[in-house]
Amino acid sequence: MIPQERIDELKKEYNELREKVCDVSLMQDQRSFRKISRRFKELEAILQTYEEIKKIENHIVENKKLIRTEEDEEFILLAKEELSELETSHSEKIEVLKELLVPADPNDEKDAIVEIRAGTGGDEAALFVADLYRMYSYFAEKNKWKQSVISSNPTGIGGLKEIIFILSGEGVYGTMKYESGVHRVQRVPETEASGRIHTSAITVSVLPDADEVDVEISEKDLRVDVYRSSGHGGQSVNTTDSAVRITHVPTGLVVTCQDEKSQLKNKDKAMKVLRSRLYDMELAKQQAEISSQRKMHVGTGDRSAKIRTYNFPQSRVTDHRINLTLYKLEQILAGDIEEFLNNLKIADRNDRISG
């Protein structure tokens, strides 16, 4: 349990924030108000759980006293059964409190922008980009998340050199952020006559969908170019200049979008990606400082690190961050990735508690 002095500090902070969340004047600054509201809810959950634990502890003391002083054997038996249930409930609530005391990532409730790109491996890598895109699409469907493609670069054999899409729903970024990193695939390509196993790699980046209040972008820092959308082989698929390329001059970041027929819609989508990339760059700086003091990097840390290997001959998938291997490749590619994500969340929480 946490010391009473710490609880008193949290109660004081909670009471101060309760006044602020009711202050209409503070709502003018949306970024500040959202931060206050988020912290208020966190404290409310902590203090509520703490009170529940204290009540259970009081019941445990009462039951132990009854067992010592009561003479009725049947009554003692009932008290012991209840005591066992109370002790189990107490342990569970303590675990909940531990989790609540770990500072929440304010981005966890945001939508996510997912970028998948082919790395080493040529056509095989591009085919695996398409495999992972389908995997995430199935997973999104299971979670009733909405999906919208921002841009894609297909190959002629059913692969994708790159695809960027948005996933919208409850707690999307908090779930998907663990997918950032290098995903490696080991399989025999259909074109490989000798049956040798080929190793390819792709990169996945999961960015929190940044709002305008999260990132301020000056128009003078942008260079916007428009051109005609092109399909396979470069042929024009649109008779108007609807495709948009936005360059953020200070950082050199370039975002293109041509999936919509409307130039305005393409610009809106491109700006959404640009905001999220700039926001992610700032987050990466902060997390680099934190990560240097932590033992694991299971969150949104180094995206150049190999995080998972998909071995087709053995139907084996291994997550290298938590040393978890599952022999159900087919189910995983069909969107069954909860076991990995749940274990990564636990490892991340334990890392933050100890770190």
* 8 Å CB contact between 288 and 297: no
Bridge-based pairing state of the strands 306-311 and 181-187: parallel
* Cα end-to-end distance, the chain, whole Å: 18
Phi first, then psi: give them for residue 148, nearest 5 degrees: -145, 125
Q: Which pLDDT band holds residue 58 (cuts at 50, 70, 90)? A: very high
Tally of CB atoms within 10 A around 222:
14
* 8 Å CB contact between 344 and 321: yes
pLDDT tens for residues 267-298?
888 888 898 888 888 877 766 654 554 444 45
Out of 87-91, 150-154, 345-349, the most confident range is 87-91
Please compute, for residue 251, the number of CA atoms within 13 A of its CA located in the half-sphere on the CB side. 17
pTM of the model: 0.68
- What is the pLDDT, as a whole number, of residue 160? 95
**CA–CA distance, 253 with 215 (Å, rounded to integer):** 15
- What is the pLDDT, as a whole number, of residue 103? 72
Q: Which fold has domain 112-354?
A: Alpha-Beta Plaits (3.30.70)
Helix/strand/coil percent split, the chain, to 5: 50, 20, 30
Q: Angle at Cα 115 formed by Cα 234 and Cα 252, nearest 5°?
A: 75
- What is the pLDDT, as a whole number, of residue 39? 87
What are the boundaries of each domain within the chain? 4-101, 112-354
Which residues in 301-327 are b (16+ Cβ under 10 Å) and which e?
Answer: bebeeebbbbbbeeebbbbebbeeebe
